[in-house]
């Protein structure tokens, strides 16, 4: 049996950085990863997909260049092999960077293999047994495949496998109208494929307010994407030249099908029962406000704990655990203000409460909206789709939430994220003097237009 000061299972966006911090403190750490260092973000999520999004945007800009006085003769052609290779290069550079980083760390043992608990202090991997007083789980999540008629009879794609396509689909059917599905839908439409989105719910991006959801649908429809919401009785069948997707109201002749209906945690084969670790009905590991499980000496970080499903929340889990365990701090998950982005074009930046949540909270609220058509920078760039919205508490003057669907919305939202984390009231932000011409310069104006509801 090999003994360590800590064992980290899973090398996503929390585990490796926590392992590195512990090594810096002189600890002996084992980092176990069954597949690739970097987890979903590096290998099948943020980095490759946003690289693909950038290629798709380049194609879109080129096709529409005449509106800017730039004439490109001939048809804009997409070389999917080059597109794929570019995304793989970005992934491999990041993954190899982690490999090199860990190789230079005394005290770090990186093990490639599938770890399982033997008891609360012991795990087995590759026929060896390892023990440590502290064990951290950062095992991430994977696409979930719904039990729909015919789904096992077709060669469907997931968000993990679609990034390896090196041929353009004739017609991509996207099952699921949430964030992952929407990004791939617009991306492949811009590459030149016909695209249909099939969503069981009544609207796209169901977490968002109805006005945001409607605006997202308008953006996608304007680019020629076919949207079917409220779809039921979804079924699949092989056809002579692809796959038939049938719903209660539509029949789609697709060449490829992307299943993007959610993700589930990678916790079902860790032997958690041997350690006594509790999970909820969806398989997420139950943790307290400091990310500790019900078993002393075991923590769960990142997507597998159900307390966040983003790279930045996973990294923040590392920050919380490191601060509490190594720095004598007392940080809590409940102190985190949730923010995220949807990387369609234009992107959506979101923080805090939606309007629906704010209205249900019982607070006296104020709301302000502004179309992107009234933002100078958006007009100068010829990208005026979307709008900005902010919600505030009429009594405390604190900002409760905001949504910016529009050019650079994923960046502009950070001004509001920072203000909310600092506890700054909206009247104080109205006195800032932003740079012109930017999208962010409209934040004080947006706040100045807040009105009670």
Catalytic residue, from 171, 256, 282, 436: name it: 436
Chain centre to alpha carbon of residue 368: 27
From CA 390, how far away is CA 46, in angstroms rounded? Answer: 27
Q: Which CATH code is given to the segment(s) 2-141+264-335?
A: 3.50.50.60
Peptide bond into 346 cis (omega under 30): yes
Chain position carrying tokens 């600890």: 27
What was the pLDDT predicted at 87?
98
In the 8-state DSSP scheme, what is residue 151? G
Say if CB 372 and CB 215 are below 8 A apart.
no
436 is catalytic: yes
* DSSP H or E stretch at residue 43: helix 39-43
372's tokens:
């992107």
* Beta pairing class for 399-405 and 348-352: antiparallel
Question: In angstroms, what CA-CA distances link 151 with 61, 144, 236, 276?
Answer: 36, 12, 6, 35
C-alpha to C-alpha distance for 59 and 81, rounded to whole angstroms: 15
The pTM of this model reads: 0.96
Using DSSP, state whether 208 is helix, strand or coil: coil
pLDDT tens, position by position, for the chain (453 residues)?
999 999 999 999 999 999 999 999 999 999 999 999 999 999 999 999 999 999 999 999 999 999 999 999 999 999 999 999 999 999 999 999 999 999 999 999 999 999 999 999 999 999 999 999 999 999 999 999 999 999 999 999 999 999 999 999 999 999 999 999 999 999 999 999 999 999 999 999 999 999 999 999 999 999 999 999 999 999 999 999 999 999 999 999 999 999 999 999 999 999 999 999 999 999 999 999 999 999 999 999 999 999 998 999 999 999 999 999 999 999 999 999 999 999 999 999 999 999 999 999 999 999 999 999 999 999 999 999 999 999 999 999 999 999 999 999 999 999 999 999 999 999 999 999 999 999 999 999 999 999 999
The secondary structure of 320-371 as a DSSP string is HHHHHHHS-----GGGPPPEEEE-SSS-EEEEE--HHHHHHTT--EEEEEEE
**pLDDT for the residue 202:** 97
Residue found under tokens 């597998």:
304
Q: Which residues of the chain does CATH 3.50.50.60 include? A: 2-141+264-335, 151-261
Predicted local distance difference test score (pLDDT) of residue 323:
98
Name the CATH superfamily, with its identifier, for domain 339-452.
Answer: FAD/NAD-linked reductase, C-terminal dimerisation domain (3.30.390.30)
The CA distance from 198 to 253, in Å, is: 13
Residues pairing with 173 in the sheet: 196, 257
C-alpha to C-alpha distances, 377 to 41, 342, 384, 402, nearest whole angstrom: 31, 21, 9, 20
For the domain 151-261, what is the CATH superfamily, name and number? FAD/NAD(P)-binding domain (3.50.50.60)
Burial 120-129 (b: 16+ CB within 10 A, else e): bbbbbbeeee
Residues of the chain with CATH 3.30.390.30: 339-452
Q: What is residue 123's predicted lDDT score, i.e. its pLDDT?
A: 98
């Amino acid at each position: 049996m090999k003994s360590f000061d800590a064992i980290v299972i899973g090398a996503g966006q929390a585990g490796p950085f926590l392992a590195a911090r512990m090594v810096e403190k002189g600890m002996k750490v084992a980092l176990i990863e069954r597949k690739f260092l970097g987890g979903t973000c590096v290998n099948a999520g943020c980095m490759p997909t946003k690289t693909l999004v950038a290629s798709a945007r380049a194609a879109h800009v080129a096709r529409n260049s005449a509106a800017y006085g730039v004439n490109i003769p001939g048809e804009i052609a997409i070389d999917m092999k080059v597109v794929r290779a570019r995304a793989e290069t970005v992934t491999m550079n990041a993954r190899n960077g982690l490999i090199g980083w860990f190789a230079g760390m005394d005290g770090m043992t990186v093990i490639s293999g599938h770890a399982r608990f033997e008891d609360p202090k012991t795990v087995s991997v590759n026929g060896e047994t390892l023990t440590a007083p502290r064990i951290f789980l950062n095992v991430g999540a994977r696409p979930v495949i719904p039990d729909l008629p015919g789904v096992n009879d077709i060669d469907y794609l997931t968000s993990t496998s679609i990034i390896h396509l090196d041929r353009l689909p004739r017609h991509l059917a996207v099952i699921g109208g949430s964030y992952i599905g929407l990004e791939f839908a617009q991306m492949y439409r811009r590459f030149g494929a016909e695209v249909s989105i099939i969503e069981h719910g009544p609207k796209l991006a169901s977490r968002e307010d109805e006005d945001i959801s409607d605006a997202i649908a308008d953006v996608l429809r304007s680019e020629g994407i076919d949207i079917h919401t409220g779809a039921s009785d979804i079924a699949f069948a092989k056809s002579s030249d692809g796959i038939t997707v049938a719903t209660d109201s539509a029949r789609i002749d697709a060449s490829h099908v992307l299943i993007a209906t959610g993700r589930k945690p990678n916790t079902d084969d860790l032997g958690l029962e041997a350690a006594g670790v509790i999970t909820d009905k969806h398989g997420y590991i139950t943790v307290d406000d400091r990310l500790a499980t019900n078993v002393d000496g075991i923590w769960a970080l990142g997507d597998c704990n159900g307390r966040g499903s983003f790279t930045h929340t996973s990294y923040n889990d590392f920050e919380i655990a490191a601060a509490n365990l190594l720095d004598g701090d007392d940080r809590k998950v409940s102190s985190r203000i949730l923010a995220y982005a949807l990387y369609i074009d234009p992107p959506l930046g979101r923080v805090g409460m939606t309007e629906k949540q704010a209205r249900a909270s019982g607070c006296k609220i104020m709301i302000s909206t502004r179309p992107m058509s009234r933002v100078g920078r958006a007009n100068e760039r010829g990208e005026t789709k979307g709008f900005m919205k902010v919600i505030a508490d009429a009594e405390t003057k604190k900002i409760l939430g905001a949504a910016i669907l529009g050019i650079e919305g994923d960046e502009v939202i950070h001004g509001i994220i920072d203000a909310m984390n600092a506890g700054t009231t909206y009247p104080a932000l109205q006195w800032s003097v932003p740079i012109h011409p930017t999208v962010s310069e409209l934040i004080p104006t947006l706040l100045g237009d807040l009105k009670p509801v």
